[in-house]
Amino acid sequence: MARYLAIRIGRAALTIVLVVTFAFVVLRLSGDPALMILGPEAPPEVLAAFRKAWGLDDPIWFQYLDYFGAIAKGELGRSMRDGRPAIELVLERIPATLALTLPAFVFKVALGVPAGIYAALHRGSAIDRAVMMTAVAGFTVPSFVLALILVLVFAVQLGWLPSGGQDSWRHAILPIATLSLGGAAVLARFTRSAMLEVLGQPYIRTASAKGVPWRKVVTSHALPNAAIPTVTILGFMVGTLIAGAVVVESVFAWPGVGRLLVVAVANRDLAVVQCILLLVAITMVTSNLIVDFLYGFLDPRLRAKGAHA
């Protein structure tokens, strides 16, 4: 088990290093921060001084080693725009993002999972078809389109809710709704198919054949099995809590991590982008690790394999 753990954690660390490296290289090759921040009209000597100050004229491998050296000391660099530590800029945006993504996560699960289970149990019924049609719509409509539709209906036409900003809890309703609907659709589809797969298994018939009432067949025989694939998608959703609202934050002018990321990328504010990507990679990898361990908890067959690995 210890070896299994060590391999998992080692793999997770490698993933993070790869993500950070990739971001580092791409960002540096795709534009000059000096030009982006100072503007094309800035005099050449000012640009040169800026590059020198931020170490941008060093060879890229040198910058890369420098960057990792700093990370090892716990320094994630400073924003090129206002000189503040990047980590500070990012951390102060996280509460705003979580204020959207956490409630949205709860709604996704509370809506999507029961809808999927219900649809599977009443396969072919009018409600099943309605749930699936809604789910397909929620699945295929991009979040910015959904966001604009919600704004059009609830802000412009009905005037019930503000169309953007962060002044009160009412401002959070439309962004949360946008995030929830799309996620609930994905979860409903996924839960439904996981549930249908399980309900077709011989052990479900065995349970019925030994006289277990149907309600209990569903709760104690089908659900624990259907939970295994559903946990995968839930884990993925937990991984997107930090930076899963880029589009929605932009549409609703919500000052969260997603908006910060968009602005920082546009400005090639390298330290800030890298800091966000590092955080995203860490949350993704951590949620994946948690999912792996949950698998072991939910599925005794994997537990055995893990123990032998």
Instruction: Work out whether 69 is an interface residue with another protein (CB under 8 A).
Output: no
Measured from the CB atom, is 142 or 213 closer to another protein?
Answer: 213
Out of 84, 129, 170, 301, the only residue in the binding site for another protein (CB under 8 A) is 301
- Contact 115/130 with Cβ under 8 angstroms? no
- Contact 76/89 with Cβ under 8 angstroms? no
Instruction: Work out whether 209 is an interface residue with another protein (CB under 8 A).
Output: yes
| Nearest residue to 116 (alpha-carbon basis) of 237, 227, 244 | 227
Out of 97, 163, 166, 225, the only residue in the binding site for another protein (CB under 8 A) is 225
Q: How far is the CB of 109 from another protein (least distance, A)?
A: 21
Q: Measured between alpha carbons, how far is 175 from 167 in angstroms, rounded to an integer?
A: 13
Build a one-symbol-per-residue string for 90-129: x at contacts with another protein by CB under 8 A, - elsewhere: ----------------------------------x-----
Q: Measured between alpha carbons, how far is 142 from 79 in angstroms, rounded to an integer?
A: 32
Residue with tokens 């036409």: 157
Structure tokens at 173: 């309703």
Q: What is the 3-state secondary structure (H, E, C) of 149-167?
A: HHHHHHHHHCCCCCCCCCC
Q: How far is the CB of 214 from another protein (least distance, A)?
A: 7
Cα atoms found within 13 Å of the Cα of residue 29, Cβ hemisphere only: 9
Q: Looking only at residues 154 through 193 of this chain, which bind another protein when binding is defined by CB under 8 A? A: none
Out of 12, 94, 155, 212, the only residue in the binding site for another protein (CB under 8 A) is 212
Out of 84, 165, 213, 309, the only residue in the binding site for another protein (CB under 8 A) is 213
Instruction: Work out whether 201 is an interface residue with another protein (CB under 8 A).
Output: yes
Measured from the CB atom, is 18 or 307 closer to another protein?
Answer: 307
First to last CA, the chain: 7
Q: How far is the CB of 300 from another protein (least distance, A)?
A: 4
Structure tokens at 151: 């704004």
Measured from the CB atom, is 207 or 285 closer to another protein?
Answer: 207
In whole angstroms, how large is the CA radius of gyration of the chain? 24
Residue 142: C-alpha distances to residues 112, 138, 145 (Å)? 18, 8, 5
Out of 52, 84, 170, 205, the only residue in the binding site for another protein (CB under 8 A) is 205
How many residues at the interface with another protein, by CB under 8 A? 24
Instruction: Work out whether 75 is an interface residue with another protein (CB under 8 A).
Output: no
> CB under 8 A: which stretch of 55-63, 131-139, 155-163, 217-225 binds another protein?
217-225
Out of 208, 232, 283, 286, the only residue in the binding site for another protein (CB under 8 A) is 208
State phi, psi for 77 to the nearest 5 degrees. Answer: 85, 175
| Nearest residue to 248 (alpha-carbon basis) of 191, 196, 171 | 171
Q: How far is the CB of 10 from another protein (least distance, A)?
A: 28
State phi, psi for 85 to the nearest 5 degrees. Answer: -60, 135
Q: Could you list the residues that contact another protein (CB under 8 A)?
A: 124, 201-203, 205-214, 220-221, 224-225, 228, 298-301, 304
